[in-house]
């Protein structure tokens, strides 16, 4: 049994390492006070622009720390451990923080272009500044070196998300979605806590750095308890990322929530949960599997196999369920289920001598998924405002009404489908090649099958845009400046990653090391 490292006090120099999180917290408090004190006649959209500025400022602090760590070399100062290694600032955390901050900033911009037209939202300022604590929670999850810290970040993200989903107070669907999300989120948190309690009971520590030495020693004595702990954790996080068969809540919640909030749940919330899974498993199950050395160890290998089975189920369930879907938010939710499966593949493959780029593949796919998903949701906000609903038929004749918007949507569809000249093609290709090099050929087959199935419903959108016309053809398409910025930033970056994927992939691999940036206490 191992005694966890006690929490150490946070010193003033340590505060500088947490500058991104503390800066966002200060901006959040400032915006809450501003919302209370500003006269009613002053537009609350100004709070939205301040939210975007705060997120970009926090991203600047993260970039500074990323460059600082890279410049300090691999031997000295590579990993910063705070509060007794319960909070870790490494390149893995920095990369994911940049992804989360960029995603949240794009969501806030999308909200700036659409929230004014949503009459069901009564307090528009709340939609903006509540994104900040949610982003802080995601950042804490990426930097957690301790189960307690991780759970704090998880609950901060979850509780804020519950409120965001319920912001359409005049909509019964929003109230229903929020209720379902709270109930399902509570069940998920209970599973995660239950799994954490088993790991704590087995190791006597909540510090991830202690698991690599404690778990192998107790594996032969308590294998059943170890299985229970890991499988409860997997089930809890599978609910958070909406992976089948734990995905039934996602279409209802996405449909009822404001569209920018749906995009946030699809990208930032999902990415934070996956980052936590990766951090936990590669500091625990990795050392009780073949990847940790010392021969075959069935418990760890079974944990990774369970992740791969979950990934396969998510890919197949998400694509097949979307075939008959005509409500666009529900369709994108089911698309997110399938993409959760793809994101789980590099996590579940484990590191081998012939395949060690798992984390790079995961981060690359997450970035591409962020761009194509937020871009698709941004186009949906434009179409739903013009059509007055969120059905697939709202895209009818879009090419003739707004050719440039339809061109951007084609880019997002090509990327979601994984076709060439898009970032999604290389994102899926990297993961598929990784699975093939790990000799998981059954998983390769499922990835190919699910991609082929997805062509049907993705290209149903293209068919509506180019080959259909309806009574809505004459309705005017207006793209606000903030929404246009989101659409074309996402479309341009998606095409750029399709033309030059090696630049991003090589950069990730250049600044990230498994030993220095993922395994707690080995940096």
Selection from 335, 344, 303 nearest residue 443 by Cα: 344
Of all helices (H) and strands (E), which one includes residue 81?
A: strand 80-82
In a domain, 129, yes or no: yes
Which phi-psi region, left, alpha or beta, contains residue 417 (left: φ > 0; alpha: ψ -120 to 50)?
Answer: alpha
* Cα dihedral 274, 276, 281, 282 sign: positive
In a domain, 523, yes or no: no
Q: Is the peptide bond before 245 cis (omega within 30 degrees of 0)?
A: yes
In a domain, 8, yes or no: no
Selection from 94, 95, 87, 91 nearest residue 11 by Cα: 87
Phi and psi angles of residue 303, each rounded to the nearest 5 degrees, phi first: -65, -45
Q: Which residues pair with 87 in a beta bridge?
A: 82, 144
Phi and psi angles of residue 411, each rounded to the nearest 5 degrees, phi first: -60, -45
Phi and psi angles of residue 327, each rounded to the nearest 5 degrees, phi first: -95, 120
In a domain, 2, yes or no: no
- Give me the domain span that covers residue 316: 16-517
Selection from 315, 496, 333 nearest residue 411 by Cα: 496
Per the structure, how many domains does the chain have? Answer: 1
Q: Residue 401: its pLDDT value, please?
A: 86
Selection from 213, 128, 281 nearest residue 521 by Cα: 213
- Cβ-contact 341, 435 below 8 angstroms: no
Q: Residue 77: its pLDDT value, please?
A: 44
Count CA atoms within 13 Å of residue 187 on its CB side: 10
Q: Residue 293: its pLDDT value, please?
A: 53
Q: What is the largest CA-CA distance in the chain?
A: 71
Distance set, CA 264 to CA 67, 96, 131, 322, 374 (Å): 27, 15, 9, 20, 8
Q: Residue 113: its pLDDT value, please?
A: 86
Q: Residue 297: its pLDDT value, please?
A: 62
Q: Residue 5: its pLDDT value, please?
A: 47
Q: Each residue's pLDDT tens digit in the chain (523 positions)?
A: 444 445 566 677 778 889 999 999 999 999 999 888 887 766 678 899 999 999 999 999 999 999 888 775 544 446 888 887 888 898 999 999 999 999 999 999 999 988 877 777 777 888 999 999 999 999 999 999 899 999 999 999 999 999 999 998 888 888 999 999 999 999 999 999 999 999 999 998 899 888 888 888 888 888 889 999 999 999 999 999 999 899 999 999 999 999 999 999 999 999 999 999 999 988 887 777 665 555 446 888 889 999 999 999 999 999 999 998 999 999 999 999 999 999 999 998 876 655 678 889 999 999 999 999 999 999 999 998 888 888 888 888 888 888 899 999 999 999 999 998 899 999 999 999 999 988 889 999 999 999 999 999 999 999 988 886 655 445 678 888 999 999 999 999 999 999 999 999 999 988 888 877 777 766 5
Name the token pair of 364.
């690359």
In a domain, 96, yes or no: yes
In a domain, 145, yes or no: yes
Selection from 315, 346, 327 nearest residue 245 by Cα: 315
Selection from 310, 325, 330, 170 nearest residue 240 by Cα: 310
Q: Residue 12: its pLDDT value, please?
A: 73
Report how far residue 240's alpha carbon sits from residue 440's, in angstroms, rounded to the nearest whole number. 26
In a domain, 7, yes or no: no
Q: Residue 131: its pLDDT value, please?
A: 95
Report how far residue 233's alpha carbon sits from residue 238's, in angstroms, rounded to the nearest whole number. 8
Name the token pair of 280.
């936990």
Report how far residue 65's alpha carbon sits from residue 19's, in angstroms, rounded to the nearest whole number. 9
Phi and psi angles of residue 86, each rounded to the nearest 5 degrees, phi first: -80, -15
* Cα dihedral 377, 381, 382, 386 sign: positive
Name the token pair of 123.
């307090």
Q: Residue 355: its pLDDT value, please?
A: 65
CA 517: distance to chain centroid? 19
Report how far residue 355's alpha carbon sits from residue 305's, in angstroms, rounded to the nearest whole number. 16
Q: Is the pTM of this model over 0.85?
A: yes
Report how far residue 290's alpha carbon sits from residue 394's, in angstroms, rounded to the nearest whole number. 52
| DSSP result, 113-146 | HHGGG-TT-S-HHHHHHTHHHHHHHHHHHHHB-B
Distance set, CA 458 to CA 302, 414, 417, 453, 454 (Å): 34, 8, 7, 9, 6
- Cβ-contact 518, 279 below 8 angstroms: yes
Report how far residue 424's alpha carbon sits from residue 426's, in angstroms, rounded to the nearest whole number. 6
In a domain, 4, yes or no: no
* Cα dihedral 482, 387, 401, 461 sign: positive
Name the token pair of 424.
């999604």
Report how far residue 482's alpha carbon sits from residue 49's, in angstroms, rounded to the nearest whole number. 10
Phi and psi angles of residue 7, each rounded to the nearest 5 degrees, phi first: -65, 130
Q: Which residues contact 76 (CB under 8 A, 6 or more apart)?
A: none
- Cβ-contact 307, 348 below 8 angstroms: yes
Q: Residue 41: its pLDDT value, please?
A: 66
């Amino acid at each position: 049994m191992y005694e966890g490292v006690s929490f150490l006090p946070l010193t003033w120099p340590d505060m500088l390492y947490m500058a991104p999180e503390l800066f966002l917290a200060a901006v959040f408090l400032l915006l809450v006070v501003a919302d209370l004190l500003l006269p009613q006649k002053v537009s609350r959209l100004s709070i939205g622009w301040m939210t975007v500025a705060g997120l970009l400022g926090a991203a600047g602090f993260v970039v500074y720390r990323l460059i600082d760590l890279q410049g300090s070399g691999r031997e000295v100062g590579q990993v910063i451990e705070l509060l007794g290694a319960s909070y870790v600032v490494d390149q893995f955390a920095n990369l994911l923080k940049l992804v989360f901050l960029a995603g949240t900033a794009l969501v806030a911009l999308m909200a700036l272009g659409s929230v004014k037209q949503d009459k069901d939202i009564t307090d528009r300022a709340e939609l903006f500044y509540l994104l900040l604590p949610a982003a802080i929670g995601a950042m804490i999850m990426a930097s957690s070196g301790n189960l307690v810290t991780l759970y704090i970040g998880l609950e901060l993200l979850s509780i804020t998300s519950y409120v965001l989903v319920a912001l359409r107070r005049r909509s019964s669907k929003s109230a229903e979605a929020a209720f379902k999300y709270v109930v399902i989120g509570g069940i998920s948190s209970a599973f995660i806590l239950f799994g954490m309690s088993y790991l704590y009971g087995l190791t006597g520590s909540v510090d991830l750095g202690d698991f690599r030495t404690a778990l192998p020693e107790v594996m032969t004595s308590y294998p059943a308890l170890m299985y229970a702990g890991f499988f409860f954790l997997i089930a809890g996080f599978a609910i958070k990322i909406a992976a089948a068969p734990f995905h039934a809540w996602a279409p209802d919640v996405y449909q009822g929530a404001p569209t920018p909030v749906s995009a946030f749940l699809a990208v930032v919330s999902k990415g934070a949960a996956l980052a936590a899974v990766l951090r936990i498993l590669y500091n625990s199950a990795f050392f009780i599997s073949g990847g940790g050395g010392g021969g075959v160890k069935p418990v760890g290998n079974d944990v990774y196999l369970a992740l791969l089975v979950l990934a396969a189920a998510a890919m197949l369930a998400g694509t097949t369920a979307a075939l008959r879907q005509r409500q666009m938010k529900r369709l994108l939710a089911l698309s997110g289920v399938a993409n959760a499966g793809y994101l789980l593949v590099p996590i579940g493959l484990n590191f081998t001598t012939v395949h060690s780029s798992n984390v790079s593949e995961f981060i690359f796919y997450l970035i591409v998924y962020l761009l194509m998903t937020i871009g698709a949701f941004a186009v949906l906000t434009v179409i739903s405002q013009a059509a007055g609903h969120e059905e697939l038929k709202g895209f009818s004749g879009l090419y003739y009404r707004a050719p440039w918007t339809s061109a951007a949507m084609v880019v997002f569809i090509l990327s979601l489908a994984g076709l060439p000249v898009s970032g999604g093609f290389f994102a899926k290709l990297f993961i598929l090649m990784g699975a093939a090099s790990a000799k998981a050929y059954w998983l390769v087959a499922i990835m190919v099958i699910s991609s082929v199935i997805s062509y049907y419903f993705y290209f149903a959108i293209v068919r509506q845009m180019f080959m259909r016309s309806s009574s809505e053809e004459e309705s005017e398409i207006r793209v606000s400046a903030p929404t246009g910025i989101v659409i074309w930033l996402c479309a341009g970056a998606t095409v750029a990653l399709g033309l030059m994927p090696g630049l991003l992939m090589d950069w990730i691999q250049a600044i990230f090391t498994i030993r220095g940036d993922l395994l707690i206490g080995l940096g």
